[in-house]
């Protein structure tokens, strides 16, 4: 009995250490992977399409888009097009107008984010819905981690976004350069809470692989157990994970 109690205490202490380590990793990755919206200084300096897109000024936008030879995908100093700017600002009518005028929904800005991934990280389900309705792709490889919008959404526990991206054909088992899939990121960079549980379930229901391992050969089930995420462990076991 005493031996069992000591083993239980050691296991609990181990889980606490792991959780602290990965809470720090989440914070680090959040900083490292943070998108860079236009700063107030950049916004104040915007003219033309960038200014109209940020403001959602449809009158100016219409006039500018009607100018012969207008460059719809002009870039600011950070490589953002008017479509990126409109997405950051949640200007959905501006997004529709820009795409109708030929804006490329797959253009990547300096940190290699497209409009879909920008809306994804912002947990902006309505803007994402607009972009996907305009044939923006959920399949692109984006970010410095060679990931996808789905991986970003799973990392953050944006479960509604995850379901939209899955429906739009996002690659379920894409492996980024950290050797993590969306399902793995939902575990290793998640907090084990309700939104990450719903994210995990959406991925499992869609058929995401539970067999792909991380770089060290650990399965999603092993990773969930190591973190003490019992609800996720049950979800994975119910899906046949080993």
Confidence of residue 25 (pLDDT cuts 50, 70, 90): very low
Would the pLDDT of 149 be above 50? yes
Question: In whole angstroms, what is the distance from residue 67 CA to residue 61 CA?
Answer: 10
- The pLDDT score that the predictor gives to residue 30 is 44
Average pLDDT over residues 87-112: 98
Would the pLDDT of 19 be above 80? no
Q: List the one residue out of 135, 136, 163, 132 whose CA is nearest residue 150.
A: 163
Q: What is the residue-wise DSSP string for 105-162?
A: TT---TTS--HHHHHHHTT-HHHHHHHHHTT--S---BTTTTB-HHHHHHHHT-HHHH
Question: In whole angstroms, what is the distance from residue 203 CA to residue 187 CA?
Answer: 12
pLDDT tens, position by position, 54-71: 999 999 999 999 999 999
pLDDT tens, position by position, 185-227: 999 999 999 999 999 999 999 999 999 999 999 999 999 999 9
Confidence of residue 34 (pLDDT cuts 50, 70, 90): confident
Letter string b/e over residues 109-120, b meaning 16 or more CB atoms within 10 A of that residue's CB? bebbbbbbbbbb
- The pLDDT score that the predictor gives to residue 8 is 46
Q: Is 49 exposed, middle or buried (0-12, 13-18, 19+ CB in 10 A)?
A: buried
Measured CA to CA in angstroms, residue 104 lies from 48, 84, 156, 164 at distances of: 18, 10, 26, 21
| Mean pLDDT of the residues in the chain | 91
Average pLDDT over residues 225-231: 98
């Amino acid at each position: 009995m005493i031996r069992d109690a000591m083993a239980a205490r050691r296991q609990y202490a181990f889980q606490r250490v792991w959780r602290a380590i990965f809470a720090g990793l989440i914070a680090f990755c959040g900083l490292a992977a943070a998108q860079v919206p236009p700063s107030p200084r950049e916004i104040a300096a915007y003219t033309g399409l960038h200014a109209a897109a940020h403001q959602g000024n449809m009158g100016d936008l219409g006039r500018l888009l009607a100018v012969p030879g207008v460059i719809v995908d002009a870039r600011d100093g950070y490589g953002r097009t008017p479509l990126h700017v409109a997405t950051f600002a949640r200007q959905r009518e501006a997004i529709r107008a820009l795409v109708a005028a030929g804006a490329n929904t797959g253009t990547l800005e300096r940190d290699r984010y497209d409009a879909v991934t920008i809306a994804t990280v912002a947990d902006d389900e309505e803007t994402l819905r607009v972009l996907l309705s305009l044939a923006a792709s959920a399949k692109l490889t984006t970010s410095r981690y060679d990931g996808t919008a789905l991986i970003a959404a799973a990392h953050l526990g944006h479960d509604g976004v995850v379901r939209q991206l899955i429906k739009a054909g996002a690659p379920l088992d894409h492996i980024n350069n950290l050797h993590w899939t969306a399902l793995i990121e939902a575990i290793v960079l998640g907090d084990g809470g309700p939104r990450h549980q719903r994210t995990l379930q959406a991925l499992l229901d869609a058929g995401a692989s539970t067999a792909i391992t991380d770089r060290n050969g650990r399965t999603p089930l092993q990773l969930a157990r190591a973190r003490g995420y019992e609800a996720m462990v049950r979800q994975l076991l119910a899906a046949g994970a080993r």
